[in-house]
Amino acid sequence: MRSAARPAPSTAVDVPQASAERRASAVSIDRFVDALWLEDGLSQATLGAYRRDLAALADWLDREQSRRLDAATESDLRAYAAQRHAQTRASTANRRLSVFKRYYRWAVRELRIPADPTLKLDAPRQPLRVPGSISEAQVEALLDAPDTETPLGLRDRAMLELMYASGLRVSELVGVKTVHVGLSEGALRVTGKGSKERIVPFGEEAHAWLRRYLAEARSALLAGKTADALFVTARGAKAGEGMTRQMFWQLIRKYALAAGITGKLSPHTLRHAF
């Protein structure tokens, strides 16, 4: 659904001291944010986050390279990431890269630039956070537990990998719809607590399993039915519908036993182990 109010234009550079490059970047950002609002109906909070990330990059490009946003090169973006590395968590860097990738794909589509400078940029791997109750080896065993030669196992592996890569809550994971998945961007649009919307990036491993699930398993599980949910069931009265939080936790417990995890697992423990 489209946001109720059109996004306000940027006013951060509406001063005589701003360079021509920075003013050009501000115009580009405004047009991109307008396009997101019109095409995807993103919330004002999400649009504001996109604007802030792009404005910070535009400021750096103007200051360090004397370039506008649309003139950035792959080397510029790598240098920017390196400069921000020390004070940035991997999850924040991933989110920022997802914004840049989406902006430059839009710029290519609109013929504003001839090539996408983010094509060869990969998201940094997030460090594994392991509480005392579950080891890194057990996390890996849990990921490997589903039988990926079957549609159900392929679905479950994709769900576990996506949870591992993104840190989603179980309720958020089972609530993802196909329209919320951006495979080309490597990101999800997620609505979390308090109906707050955010963009969540995921890495190459999760991307590969998700693509394989969509290509090889989802249609088989639906068996001719249609569903908005990304992850669907195949049995019982709810066959062909989205999974519930309780269904997923039953699977987690089954795979935990198969992986040799005998301690108590809670949603909190698993999420932070991932």
Are residues 198 and 95 part of one domain? no
Are residues 237 and 163 part of one domain? yes
Q: Is residue 167 a part of any domain in this protein? A: yes
HEC secondary structure over 133-160: CCCHHHHHHHHHCCCCCCHHHHHHHHHH
Are residues 149 and 68 part of one domain? no
Range of the domain at 181: 136-273
Are residues 153 and 99 part of one domain? no
Are residues 30 and 97 part of one domain? yes
pLDDT tens-digit readout, 89-130: 666 777 888 899 999 999 999 999 999 998 887 665 554 444
| pLDDT of 130 | 41
Are residues 103 and 32 part of one domain? yes
| pLDDT of 4 | 47
Instruction: Domain count for the chain, please give it.
Output: 2
Are residues 268 and 143 part of one domain? yes
pTM over 0.95: no
Q: Is residue 59 a part of any domain in this protein? A: yes
Q: Is residue 10 a part of any domain in this protein? A: no
| pLDDT of 16 | 53
Q: Is residue 162 a part of any domain in this protein? A: yes
Q: Is residue 191 a part of any domain in this protein? A: yes
In whole angstroms, what is the distance from residue 268 CA to residue 120 CA? 35
Q: Is residue 253 a part of any domain in this protein? A: yes
Q: Is residue 223 a part of any domain in this protein? A: yes
**Phi and psi at residue 187, to the nearest 5°:** -150, 155
In whole angstroms, what is the distance from residue 44 CA to residue 37 CA? 9
| pLDDT of 25 | 93
| pLDDT of 269 | 60
CATH of residue 207's domain is: 1.10.443.10
Contact 213, 232 (CB under 8 A): no
**Phi and psi at residue 182, to the nearest 5°:** -110, 90
| pLDDT of 1 | 40
| pLDDT of 131 | 44
Sign of CA dihedral 35, 99, 202, 250: negative
Could you say which residues of the chain have pLDDT below 70?
1-16, 85-91, 122-134, 193-194, 235-240, 263-274
